[in-house]
Amino acid sequence: MARQHLLLSLLLRSLPFALLCGCSSVPPLPDGGGPGIVAFDPVPPEGAKTWGPPSWQVGDRFALLRGGQQRIDLTVTASENGSYTLTDASGNRMRRGHDLSNLGEWGREGDQALHELTPADVRFHWPVWIGKRWRCQYSDRTAGGAALPIETGYEVEDLDTVVTPGGTFSALRIVRTSRLKLEGGGFLDRVSVVWYAPDLGLEVRQILGDTSVELLEWVRPSASEAKAAEVLPPAAATKQ
């Protein structure tokens, strides 16, 4: 039963925008770390089209639809120290690197993480091209829990046309395979598929087990709105 619980946790954590509970008291994170990127294809094939990282702005807003039922609203509320902060409708926060790596989740208040990936789950290794592969190793640390050593591999398989409730996009199909690196653990690899739309700079669809997460809405504010969002506290910024 404990092993099944860990597998379920790994599956859910592959979704980097889960809704979080607001906790007034957060237990400490366990110690743990990893080397980060351990392998990657260094150069694209001759003539291959490549894509670089997007640039998100404070005030960008997008909504996701999980399993056709659950709406998740997120706003970019900060861009500093090499990372973006995304805040949900309840004020919970997640952080992604400017390279779109997954760094972890925080509650509505305080600097203590609820869940942190150390040094990061490198979801993209730029530039990307069709056929590119990379692998990273990190520690998956949850407050009050154990540190799980994880190795995750990515491969960009192709460029697809993807139809979502938020529109139709040309999107790179990326297969993500995660493995718990515990000696004698016997865990099966966990596989998910992500579709990333370079023109939009967002993941527009993910298939996690038997659950889909799709882009529902996306709004980039005007220059004046983005400037106003930068001076608002996060709670106010998410209510625009």
Q: What is the mean pLDDT of the chain?
A: 84
The tokens describing 42, both together, are: 């260094």
**What is the pLDDT, as a whole number, of residue 17?**
40
Q: Please say whether the dihedral angle defined by the alpha carbons of residues 165, 210, 101 and 157, taken in this order, is positive or negative.
A: negative
Is the pLDDT higher at 83 or at 220?
A: 83
Q: Report the alpha-carbon distance of residue 236 to residue 155 in Å, rounded.
A: 39
The tokens describing 60, both together, are: 């960008």
Does residue 143 contact residue 115 with C-beta atoms inside 8 Å?
yes
pLDDT band at 225 (very low <50, low <70, confident <90, very high): low
The most confident of the ranges 12-16, 111-115, 146-150, 174-178 is: 174-178
Among candidates 12, 16, 6, 202, which has minimal Cα distance to 104?
A: 16
Q: Report the alpha-carbon distance of residue 131 to residue 50 in Å, rounded.
A: 11
pLDDT tens by residue, 2-53: 333 333 333 344 444 444 444 456 677 777 779 999 999 999 999 999 999 9
Q: Which residues pair with 61 in a beta bridge?
A: 75, 219
* Overall pTM surpassing 0.95 (yes/no): no
Residue 186 has pLDDT above 80, yes or no: no
Is the pLDDT higher at 195 or at 181?
A: 195
What structural domains and CATH numbers belong to the chain? 2-22+31-237 (2.40.360)
Distance of CA 142 to the CA centre of its chain: 16
Cβ neighbours for 1, distance < 8 A, ≥ 6 positions apart: none
pLDDT tens by residue, 65-99: 999 999 999 999 999 999 999 999 999 999 999 99
**What is the pLDDT, as a whole number, of residue 52?**
97
Largest CA-CA distance found in the chain, in angstroms, rounded: 56
The most confident of the ranges 10-19, 24-33, 138-147, 205-214 is: 205-214
